[in-house]
A and B are shown apart, each in its own frame.
Chain A
């Protein structure tokens, strides 16, 4: 049988920041193999047979949870979903106690979404299971950045040298943090655009260019990534009104006229139609938003597979 070439260093996927470009490429290449599995008549392979994966979602999620669950089932893992609502968490149990109790059931992997940044890291340091971060507060959402990169690579054939403009609620977005780490590691050029109240200070130190208008972000971009205005993470609106936001930063077909030919429009979802993106764009020929969702399953299968095997004992 074929010799193994490469592997992930850590037992966990806590973020993009600790990954090397080689590890990112390994995940993306592996995902190509898994994309094919989802196109078969029998969409299931026995790779994780007998392994238990717990999906610990302590914060609302539809897309990510469903995507992970499909990925786990297509790999033949046993899955168990655990949500904060209706659990002992409502009775005051701490995250560590919840996790230790779950660990007593000997899962091989735990997929966790939590509102507090660092919650996955805390579990990773205490539990022998592989921990996969499915979004922790405003920190990271690594599988989203990986599926975005997979989609860009699939469409444009490469990541190095690609101009990616990310527009919207930069300040509250874990997706953008993971994406900046990934894209800059892989040699893409990242431009950010947002109203000043939604742009973190000194974000340039992450190796990105900051512009103040949507038009400047569209100029020369190969990829335009729109972010959702995260109303739930803001105490009050950081701008006068949603209508005004749409008029200044909403992506419309009219605005896209100045874009490069062949530009693709991405969005991590859920989209707010008429706030950050016009329906005609979200459903238009530029949009790869639903491709992102499809690719998400393949990328998550790749991550589960790469973390799911035996771990080298160093």
Chain B
């Protein structure tokens, strides 16, 4: 796969994540009942950074969790081999919380659908929001993001590659061509 374009470098990614944190606070008027939940795997470091930004701005920690959606995928019976299952870790019951689901790229919407189903098995949140670093379009389900780092029109044959310092050694977002 060839790199077609560099969408975000480290500094721009940091600013995008900071703005996402501010938008989350604005929409909820503070940290009351807020819980930030990253979708494995690239959603996790983004969610962690959003939670850290919020804590620094509000001088108040927000609970942070991780959700694994593998078992809720709608293609489990058709793909091989089986994708790797990892634990979901939520810091406290989600009942009556405002849960902010965080992922790296919003594309077909199927991951988010799976994440919503997974989340509901843990309780009844007051509301659920979706925050994504990149919205690349091409939805296959009626799902939209509430907070977006960057909207990028893409072709279906392109791949968005999000790299995070925590997992890939550096921060950047690339647009690749198959």
Using a CB–CB distance below 8 Å, which chain A residues touch chain B? 1-8, 26, 29-30, 32-37, 40-42, 44-47, 50-51, 75, 302, 305-306, 308-313
- Which of chain A's residues have a CB closer than 8 A to the CB of B117? 46
B54-98 contacts to A, CB under 8 A, are: 68, 70-73, 76-89, 93
| Given A29-B84, A36-B88; A45-B121 close (CB under 8 Å) | yes
| Given A40-B122, A41-B123, A42-B121; A311-B86 close (CB under 8 Å) | no
Given A8-B81, A41-B122, output 9 extra A-B contacts at Cβ < 8 Å: A2-B40, A2-B83, A36-B88, A42-B121, A44-B121, A45-B118, A46-B71, A311-B80, A312-B81
- Which of chain A's residues have a CB closer than 8 A to the CB of B40? 2
Contact B73 A1 (CB under 8 A): yes
- Which of chain B's residues have a CB closer than 8 A to the CB of A32? 86-87
- Which of chain B's residues have a CB closer than 8 A to the CB of A311? 80
Contact A310 B121 (CB under 8 A): no
- Cα-based distance from A309 to B84 in the complex (angstroms): 12
Contact B72 A45 (CB under 8 A): yes
B112-150: CB near A (< 8 Å → 1, else 0) gives: 000001100111000000000000000000000000000
- Closest chain-A Cβ to B51's Cβ sits at a distance in Å of 21
B31 within 8 A of A: no
Contact B71 A4 (CB under 8 A): no
- Which of chain B's residues have a CB closer than 8 A to the CB of A46? 71-72, 117
Q: Taking CB as reference atom, which chain B residue is nearest A32?
A: B87
Q: Taking CB as reference atom, which chain B residue is nearest A313?
A: B80
- Cα-based distance from A47 to B85 in the complex (angstroms): 11
The 8 Å CB contact of A2, one of B41, B72, B76, B81, is B41
B6-28 contacts to A, CB under 8 A, are: none
- Which of chain A's residues have a CB closer than 8 A to the CB of B82? 4, 7, 305-306, 308-309
- Cα-based distance from A219 to B40 in the complex (angstroms): 44
Q: Taking CB as reference atom, which chain B residue is nearest A46?
A: B72
- Cα-based distance from A311 to B85 in the complex (angstroms): 17
- Closest chain-B Cβ to A265's Cβ sits at a distance in Å of 27
Contact B85 A305 (CB under 8 A): yes
The 8 Å CB contact of A302, one of B76, B85, B88, is B85
Contact B76 A7 (CB under 8 A): no
- Which of chain B's residues have a CB closer than 8 A to the CB of A8? 81
- Closest chain-B Cβ to A15's Cβ sits at a distance in Å of 20
Contact A33 B68 (CB under 8 A): yes
Q: Taking CB as reference atom, which chain B residue is nearest A301?
A: B85
Q: Taking CB as reference atom, which chain B residue is nearest A74?
A: B71
Contact A1 B83 (CB under 8 A): yes
Can you pick out 7 interface pairs between chain A and chain B where the beta carbons lie within 8 Å of each other?
A1-B111, A3-B83, A4-B83, A33-B86, A42-B121, A46-B71, A47-B71
Contact B77 A310 (CB under 8 A): yes
Contact B85 A309 (CB under 8 A): no
- Which of chain A's residues have a CB closer than 8 A to the CB of B121? 40-42, 44-45
